[in-house]
Amino acid sequence: MLETTDLRKVFKSTVAVDEVNLYLNKGESVGLLGPNGAGKSTTISMISSLSMPTSGDVKWNGESVVKNPNVIRNVLGVVPQEIAVYEELTALENLKFFGKIYGLKGETLDQKVEDALKIVGLEEKQKELVKNYSGGMKRRINIAVALLHEPEIIIMDEPTVGIDPQSRNYILEMVRQLNEEKGMTVLYTSHYMEEVERLCDRIYIMDHGKVIATGTQEELTSILSSEESILIELDRPYPNLVKALSGLEEVLQVVEHDKGIKLIVTKGSRLLGKVFQIAEQEDAQIAGINVQVPTLEDVFLHLTGRKLRD
Amino acid sequence: MKALFLLQWQRLRREPVLFFAMVLMTILFVAVVGGFGSISSIKVPTVIDDSVSESKKEFWLERLNETDGYSFEEMEELEAREKIAMGNKPFALLVMENNYQIWMLSESPELTMLEQVVRQVYMNENRLATVESVVDDDQFRSQVENRLSEPALSVTTEMVDNDNAAPTYNHQIQTLFGMTLFFSIYTIIFSLSKIAEEKRTGTMNRIILSPVKKWQVYFGHVSYSFVLGILQIILIVLLFKYLFNFDVGESTGALLVIIASFTFSVVAIGMLLLGFTKTQEQLNSVVPIVSVSMAMIGGAFWPIEAVSNQFILAASKVNPITYAMDALKGVSMYEQGLGELLEPIAIIVLIGVLCMGVGVNLIERRS
Ligand SMILES: Nc1ncnc2c1ncn2[C@@H]1O[C@H](COP(=O)(O)OP(=O)(O)OP(=O)(O)O)[C@@H](O)[C@H]1O
Ligand SMILES: [Mg+2]
C-alpha cells in the first residue's frame, strides 16, 4: 500500500538517501534501523510529503505522493524525531488545536482528544503545561498528536530517544497495541535494535543512505547462520589478548566492549578451550563467557564492520 | 484559520512577559524623555551676585520669571554649583548688576534656549534703563508697560499651508509617538518570529500535513501580529491621553487609520526580515538593528526637521516611521484631518504591500 522506488535525496554535497526501495503492506509493522546520519529521517520526510525527493517516487495505493501530497496526508500520522508541540500550552490545549486544524469540532473533537490522551496515558496530566513534563511524557504527547485524526498509517521517527526504560516500555507496548489491536500500519524508525526486534514484522537496515539488508528478523539473522559470537567479560582491557585472539584462524572479527571483548567466529569452531588457554598465557582474568546466537546488532556489524551505536 | 489565530493569543496569555515589557519600556521612556504632566517649565537655579542690591534682586527674578518655559529659583552659589557638579541640574544662572553668567557642564538645546531668553530680558532692561536715564521721567516705565499691553498694532504669524495658529512644537507628543512606534516594532517582529520558531520545533510540519493551507498559516500569524501591534500602540496612547493628559488631538479616527497602516507596514517588514534570515536567532538579532535604525532615521527619537544629513534624509523617505510620525504629529499638534494625511498614509501602505510581497515570496522559496 506504501512503496518507494529508487528514492534519492541529495543535499549539496551529501547524498542523504540513495536509491531506497521499500514497501509496507496494510497492517504491517515495519522497522527502519540505522545509525545516526543513516538517512532515516530524510527518508521519512520524503514519504510523508514534507520534502521533495531529488529523484525517485513514493506511491500510496499506486498514486504518486510526490505529484499529489494530499493522497497520503489525510491518512497519515507522523511522530517527528523532535518534540513538535507548543510547550507553553497544556497537553489538552495542544490536542484541541491540532484536532481543530484537522477539521474536528464539538463533541467529536472532545471525544478524539480524550481517546488520544487515553492511548498515551496522559489523562491525569492533560491540564499541565508540556514544558513541565518529563522527557517520557513529552514523547507521549508528541505521539498523541499524531493519533488524533485516527490515521491509517503512522510513521514514528525514533519515538523513544533519550527517555527512561519505563516510559520506553510503555511506548513500545502502545505501538504494539496500535498495530495488533487497531490494525494500524506502522513504520518505526530507531537505532535501537531491541525495539525493532520486538515490534516489527519486517526490517530495513540503512547505512550511509542505502538499504543494506532487509527481511524478517529470522531472515536477517540467518545471514549470519555460519557464524556465532562469543562474549568474554574481562576485569580490564588486555590489548595483547585482543591481538592474540585475532590471530586465530576461526576468529572472523574481534570487537572491544567497555566490559570485555566480543568474538565473531565460524559456527561450531569449539574455541572455548583455546580462549581460556590464551587468556592464561596473557595473564587475563576472565569474569564470564557467553556464546550467543546472532542479533541484528551482529548483522549490522557483519555488514558494515561497525556497531549500530558508539 | 480561526484556530491558528486564536492559538497565538493562547500562547501570549501563557507568556505575556515580552509584550508587557515592551509596554512598560514605552511608558518609562516617554516618562523620562518626555516628562509627565502637562507643560512643565525647566527649573533654573539662580544665584544673585553680591553686587545686586536687595531691591534689585526681586526685580530681576520677577523679570526673568515672566518668560515662558523656565522658572528661576534663587539659590546659594555653593548649592547651585554642587547641583551642576552632581549632574542634578544641567545649568545655573548668575545674576549680576549689569551682566549675567551661565554655568553649565555641557551643551544642550535647553541651554541655547535659556541663553536667548536671558539675553532678551537683559537687553530689554538695558534699553529701558538707557532711555530712562535720558528722559528723566518717573512715569516712563509705567507708560511703556501700558503701551505694551495695548499695542497699536499687533502681528500674527501664520503658515502658508495651515489655517491654524502658528504650529506649536510639543516635545511630549513627539516623545510619546516616537517611543510608542519604536517599541511596537519589537513586539510586532518578535511575535512574527513565532513563524520561525514553528519551523524550528516542527509544529509547522504538523500544520502543513493537516488540511490547513499554507497561506492560512501565514495569515493566522500575520493577523495576530497586526492586532497585537495595534493593541499595544492604542493602549499606550490611551494611557497617556487619559492618565497624563497628553494632547493627542481630536481626530481619533485619523489616529486609528495611521496606527493601523503603520502596524501593517511593520508586519510586512517583519515578513521581509523573516524571508532574509535563516533561523529565529538570526531574526532576533537583526530586530534591534532594524528597529533602532528605522527609529533614528524616521525621526522617532528626535524630530526629523532637526536632521540635515542628505543621506539620512533620503533614507527617511522609504521609512514608514517618517510618514507615521509626520501624520501622527499632524493630527495631534496641527489638527490635521484624514483628508490632509492621505498621502503619507498611502505611502505607508505602499511600503507595506511591497515588503509583504517580497517577504512572503522569500519565505516560500526557502521552504
Ligand atoms: N537539511 C539538510 N541539509 C543538509 N544535509 C542534511 C539535511 N538533512 C539531513 N542531512 C544529512 O543527511 C544525512 C542523513 O540525515 P538523517 O537526519 O536523515 O539521518 P538519520 O538516520 O535520521 O539520523 P539520526 O539517527 O541522527 O536522526 C546526514 O548526513 C545529514 O547530515
Ligand atoms: Mg533522524
Domains belonging to chain A, first-starting first, are: 2-220 (3.40.50.300), 226-293 (3.30.70.920)
Quick check: B175 pLDDT over 60? yes
Instruction: Kindly give the number of the ligand 1 atom that is closest to the alpha carbon of A43.
Output: 18
pLDDT band at B73 (very low <50, low <70, confident <90, very high): confident
Quick check: B36 pLDDT over 60? no
- On chain A, the residues whose CB falls within 8 A of the CB of B11 are 86, 88-89
Nearest one of A59, A67, A58, A151 to A102, comparing CA atoms: A151
Quick check: B159 pLDDT over 60? no
Ligand 2 centroid–CA A40 distance in Å is: 5
Q: What is the pLDDT of residue A21?
A: 94
Q: Higher model confidence: residue B150 or residue B332?
A: B332
B211 lies within 8 A of chain A by CB = yes
Q: What is the pLDDT of residue B165?
A: 39
Q: What is the pLDDT of residue B41?
A: 65
Q: What is the pLDDT of residue B180?
A: 94
Name residues whose C-beta falls within 8 Å of residue B344's C-beta, 6 or more positions apart in sequence. B258, B323, B324, B326, B327, B330
SS3 (DSSP) at A306? coil
B7 lies within 8 A of chain A by CB = yes
Q: What is the pLDDT of residue A228?
A: 80
Q: What is the pLDDT of residue A44?
A: 95
| Mean of the per-residue pLDDT values of chain B | 85
Instruction: Copy the grid coordinates of residue B283.
Output: 531574526
Q: What is the pLDDT of residue B40?
A: 55
Ligand 1 centroid–CA A22 distance in Å is: 19
Is residue B262 within a helix (H) or strand (E), and if so which, with residue range?
helix B252-276
- A31/A46 Cα distance (integer angstroms): 17
Q: What is the pLDDT of residue A309?
A: 63
- A117/A166 Cα distance (integer angstroms): 18
**Lowest mean pLDDT across A291-305, B192-206, B207-221:** A291-305
- Identify the segments of chain A with pLDDT beneath 70: 225, 308-310
Q: What is the pLDDT of residue B290?
A: 92
Contact B217, B209 (CB under 8 A): no
Q: What is the pLDDT of residue B162?
A: 44
Please name the residue whose Cα sits nearest to atom 4 of ligand 1. Answer: A11
**Lowest mean pLDDT across A205-219, B96-110, B135-149:** B135-149
| Domain positions in chain B | 2-35+169-366, 41-136
Quick check: B311 pLDDT over 90? no
pTM: 0.75
ipTM of the complex: 0.81
Instruction: Copy the grid coordinates of residue A242.
Output: 585482543
A42 lies within 8 A of chain B by CB = no
Report, as an integer, the average pLDDT of B67-84.
83
> Which CATH class name applies to B41-136?
alpha beta
- B70/B59 Cα distance (integer angstroms): 17
Quick check: B37 pLDDT over 50? no
> For B253-287, how does the pLDDT look when each residue is reduced to its tens digit (9 = 90+)?
899 999 999 999 999 999 999 999 988 889 989 99
Report, as an integer, the average pLDDT of B284-305.
89
pLDDT band at B1 (very low <50, low <70, confident <90, very high): confident
Q: What is the pLDDT of residue B167?
A: 45
Quick check: B31 pLDDT over 90? no
- B292/B294 Cα distance (integer angstroms): 5
Q: Which of A49, A74, A98 sits opposite B206 (nearest CB)?
A: A98
Name residues whose C-beta falls within 8 Å of residue B262's C-beta, 6 or more positions apart in sequence. B181, B233, B320, B321, B324, B348
B96 lies within 8 A of chain A by CB = no
Q: What is the pLDDT of residue B158?
A: 54
Ligand 2 centroid–CA A149 distance in Å is: 24
B70: phi then psi, degrees, rounded to nearest 5: -130, 145
Q: What is the pLDDT of residue B169?
A: 61
Find the Cα–Cα–Cα–Cα dihedral B262, B263, B265, B271, rounded to 10°. 160
Q: Higher model confidence: residue A81 or residue B313?
A: A81
Q: What is the pLDDT of residue A194?
A: 85
